[in-house]
Structure 1
Amino acid sequence: MIGWAQIGYGAVLSAVFAALLLLAARCRDRAALTTAALAAAAGPLAWNTILRAAHGEQFFTDAPVAVFPISWQDTGSAVFTLATASLALGLGPLAARPARTAVRYALVAAAAALLTDIYLY
């Protein structure tokens, strides 16, 4: 089971990576960028807090694939990030824009959370 420091570290890394990926994808809307980055931190933070409270040690078992050792814990972080970012972006700074824009940004944030979980902590 990961500790609080590692949970916080992962959340911050996810946010930074999401912001960098969105900048690389030419996101110039500062509010959308900030919202997506915060969602990329909030999703893994919420999911890992739930796993910690529920003593979900089995969720941390990695798949036996060396190049993509994904676990249920990693997947949950991405799913929570996708949900959080979709709602926050769609109801917030991108409410007047086409839904595909909010979904695209939310997918980038979720991918950042997933990759950060798999490879960085």
Structure 2
Amino acid sequence: MLNWSTIFYGAVLSALLAALLAAAAGPRRPAVIATTAFAALAGPLAWNAILHAAHGRQFFTDAPVAVLPASWQDTGSGVFAIAMTALALGIGPLAAGTGRRIAALATLAGLAAFVVDVYLY
């Protein structure tokens, strides 16, 4: 089970990686990068807070694959980051944008959260 400092640490790392990926992905609009980073922080933070409150220890069992030892907890962080990013961008700075752009950035945020969870904590 993750403690609160680890949950915040992972969320911040997810936000930083998502911001870097969003900046590399296309037009560097500060509002888009900041929204992507915030959502990539909020998604994993929300998911891990749920697991913490529900004492969801079973979600932390890693897959027996050496190169990708992902757990349900890692996957949930990515899924929550995707959902939060799509929602935040869709009602925020990309409200008039295309679904393709929103989906691409949300996927990058989800990938960032997933990779951080699997490999960095």
Which TM class, normalised by the smaller chain length? over 0.9
Shift of 1:16: 0.3
SS at match of 2:106: helix
Give unpaired runs (5+ residues) of structure 1. none
Judged with a 3 Å threshold, the aligned counterparts in structure 2 of structure 1 residues 27 and 75 are, in CA distance, closer, same or farther, namely farther
CA deviations over 1:21-61 (Å, ceiling 9, x no partner)? 11222341111110010010001100000000000001000
**Structure 1 stretches (4+) deviating beyond 4 angstroms?**
none
SS at match of 2:97: coil
Q: Distance in 1 between matches of 2:88 and 2:27?
A: 16
Matched to 1:62, the amino acid is D
Counterpart position of 1:88: 88
Counterpart position of 2:118: 118
Counterparts of residues 1-121 of structure 1 (less than 5 Å): 1-121=1-121
Q: Distance in 2 between matches of 1:27 and 1:111?
A: 19
Q: Distance in 1 between matches of 2:64 and 2:106?
A: 28
**Alpha-carbon RMSD:** 0.8
Q: Distance in 2 between matches of 1:81 and 1:53?
A: 19
**How many aligned residue pairs are there?**
121
Q: Distance in 1 between matches of 2:50 and 2:44?
A: 10
Shift of 1:97: 1.1
Contact 1:44–1:81 under 8 Å retained in 2: yes
Give unpaired runs (5+ residues) of structure 2. none
SS at match of 1:108: helix
